[in-house]
Chain A
């Protein structure tokens, strides 16, 4: 079942044509020129920070030229055989229905020069052979692994979108979604987004679902994210434990509880097996110190807390690493929140039951599997004054 409510707004309102794309006029002109001169150059490399419209621009090109998109992303580049298999034939023959094609290689940053042996080379070979325009998107086109690619492709930069443009886009979405948000809040989201339209729309969507203004704090500050990214990069990639590592979180402008969540989320991204286990050992100890600080007000323990979070977690590596890793935003808090939304009916049922039975809602929630059976009794349903929705929830077979 497709529920329009659950489609991320950044997808729902993705630009469909050149006119929809805002704040990137120069880039659009360059792309138009590239298309006109094709096949002088076979590929165009759209590069710029996340959420400025690279992928949208690629799809807009396809729709403007009435072409079909053949999309590949970083995960498809595991090896030479795979990429050749997928786009090799397609790039040489015209579609049966004469519709032309565009090959989109999204987020090429994820291709590692080392691990995806042959992947980059095959991509370059494809640039020479292809009968169709190729669009490549990248965050950092200046990485050394792209030296050859830069020569072969038309490089087009997409700049950070001005916050006023972001604000305008958000206001349009608010109008279409019938959401009322104060200008002050919109403006602060737009500024926080730092040119990232996707981030702004994600924050806006999340905000629109919240009835608790307290949760507004959850809408992260993009600036903070940048500083935590670089700290995580140092911790998880850094080769040696030095003075810098001891102070690795000094520049990170967020509460230590948030740092815990970021580290926790990304340990499995950076480490596997023994390293992962040792890293969690360090995190676990850091948390014990955190608990002691909280309970005993023994602030001196903060030294160990930060040390374990930084050097402790950096020091578990069995081998040195290099290259590019994409760190994830902490998801646990959001998951908890989403689950609570989903379990809202369960909660209201338990509240009603708890009131009648002199127990806490929590205790009722814990016993819910048993209560579900007891609450099949219609007399009891009447007594608890359960709503239609709540009864439907009880009668729904367990998923």
Chain B
């Protein structure tokens, strides 16, 4: 499967291959490098936002440890794709059954997005980690370490990744530009960076999509791609709601969520940003933002995201009629 090496997908083509290629995360790199140099690593838990190098570091670790035979000694699982802990357990079992090849006495399992596992699944995972601790090391990644059970955290070394600084991201982008023969104006880089919120994977994807139109990357071109790739406007949902049309508002909302595969959290975020642009009274905007905050809180506390979003758009209906907050409580 040598195809991985010369992938034309830039996030892969330009994925850092050695510690020295990585940008940012200096402290973490120092610690991990010394662990790898001793050919023994503990279980690791990488916590941090998307696109800062968690998977990349996991891959570098196994390549450094196992050299050419890294593929035989490495299993990558994604918790948000593997349905249920049973699948995870079975795969781990099958993988861990045989001894590692080469000098290193263990294999490495990378469990990506471990915070997607339920509490029960994490409990089971904890047992699995214990059972195979002599033959396997787990490297886990998550966005929030608070979503990982304490017993798992206590068995692993927790490393917290920071959002990449603009100058670090620029280093990687400049490298790609040089190798692909692109010219990127400073304004264009700003546009790329702004719309990726520091997510390096996203900025590279955005760059590749833009470069597929022209090697001269301008802010306008970037913005064209960004608006093309922007999820359908949540504003239309709010427009329906404010005009009193609940059914259309709800249908549109479900439609957008399904088509764009976005979560309730993403929707709330978009609504919260949109409220200030609505053509309504400022005092009303304040109340609607309060409502939005309450909805986001309940979305975390409750069990059905969609019901919480429906309740929120139902309160926008009242706002449209000029009566929000009049008779609740």
If A273-B244, A357-B11, A383-B3 touch, whether A369 touches B258 (CB-CB below 8 Å) is no
CA distance in complex: A319, B201 (Å): 56
Contact residue among A332, A367, A376 (Cβ-Cβ distance under 8 Å from B306): A332
Q: How many residues of B contact A (CB 8 A)?
A: 59
Minimum CB–CB distance from A399 to chain B (whole Å) comes to 10
Cβ-based interface call for B228 (8 A): yes
B64 in the interface, Cβ–Cβ < 8 Å?
A: no
| Given known A332-B254, A360-B80, A361-B81, contact A284–B9 (CB-CB < 8 A) | no
What residues make up the interface of A, taking CB atoms closer than 8 Å to B? Answer: 260, 264, 268, 272-274, 276-281, 283-285, 287-288, 290-292, 294, 332, 335-336, 339-340, 343, 353-354, 356-363, 365-371, 373-374, 376-377, 379-380, 383
Contact of A367 with B205 at beta-carbon distance under 8 Å, contacts A274-B323, A276-B317 already known: yes
Query: Is A277 in contact with B315, judged by CB distance below 8 angstroms?
Result: yes
B190 contacts partner chain A, Cβ-Cβ < 8 Å: no
Residues of A with C-beta under 8 A to B328: 277-278, 281
Q: List 11 A-B contacts (CB under 8 A).
A: A260-B307, A277-B314, A277-B318, A284-B307, A343-B259, A356-B12, A360-B78, A361-B78, A366-B261, A369-B228, A370-B205
User: Quick check: is B72 within 8 A (CB to CB) of the other chain?
Assistant: no
Q: How far is the CA of A274 from the CA of B316 in the complex (A)?
A: 10
Q: Do residues A369 and B315 form an inter-chain contact, with CB atoms below 8 A?
A: no
Known pairs A268-B250, A287-B302; A369 contacts B231 (CB<8 A): yes
B166-174, B206-214, B272-280 - interface stretch: B206-214
Chain A residues, CB < 8 A from B12? 356-358
Q: Does B7 contact A (CB under 8 A)?
A: yes
Beyond A287-B298, A369-B229, is A379–B244 a contact (Cβ under 8 Å)?
no
Set of chain A residues within 8 Å of B116, measured between Cβ atoms: 360
Contact for B307 among A287, A340, A362, A376, CB less than 8 A = A287
CB contact under 8 A between A373 and B229, given known A287-B303, A332-B306, A357-B9: yes
How far apart sit A268 and B206, CA to CA, in the bound complex (Å)? 41
Measured between C-beta atoms, what is the minimum distance from B305 to chain A in Å? 9
Pick from B261, B301, B323: contact of A291, CB under 8 Å? B301
Query: In the docked arrangement, what's the CA distance between A276 and B59, Å?
Result: 52
Cα of A380 to Cα of B315 in the assembled complex, Å:
46
Which residues of chain B come closer than 8 Å to A380, judged between CB atoms? Answer: 7-9
Contact with A along B44-88 (1 / 0, CB 8 A): 000000100001000100000000000000001010110000000
Report B1-32 residues with CB < 8 Å from chain A CB. Answer: 3-4, 7-9, 11-12
Interface of B is mostly: helix
Which one, A332, A339, A371, A373, contacts B259 given CB within 8 A?
A: A339
Question: Contact flags (1/0) for B276-316 with A, using CB distance below 8 Å?
Answer: 00000000000000000001001001111011101100110
Complex Cα spacing A284 to B297, Å: 11
Closest to A362 in B: B80
How many Å lie between the Cα of A362 and that of B260 in the bound state?
11
CA gap between A26 and B208 in the complex, in Å = 72
Q: Which residues of A contact B308 (CB under 8 A)?
A: 284, 287
Binary interface encoding of chain B residues 254-272 relative to chain A, with 1 for a CB under 8 A from any of its CBs, else 0: 1000111110000000000
Q: Which of chain A's residues has its CB closest to B208's CB?
A: A374
Q: A362–B266 Cα gap in the complex (Å)?
A: 14
Q: Which of A272, A335, A340, A367 has the most CB of B within 10 A?
A: A367
Given A260-B307, A281-B311, A291-B302, A274 contacting B318 (CB threshold 8 A):
yes
Q: Are A360 and B113 in contact (CB under 8 A)?
A: yes
Report B-chain residues with C-beta under 8 Å of the C-beta of A294.
Answer: 303
Residues from chain B with a CB closer than 8 A to the CB of A292 are 301
Q: Which residues of A contact B301 (CB under 8 A)?
A: 288, 291-292
B82: nearest residue on chain A (CB-CB)? A360
Q: Is the CB–CB distance between A276 and B246 below 8 Å?
A: yes
Chain B residues with CB below 8 A from A369, complex form: 228-231, 260
| List of B residues within 8 angstroms of A379 by Cβ | 8
Contact B311 A367 (CB under 8 A): no
Contact partner of A383 (CB less than 8 A), chosen from B8, B78, B261, B311, is B8
Known: A268-B250, A287-B302, A367-B202. A281 touches B315 (CB 8 A): yes
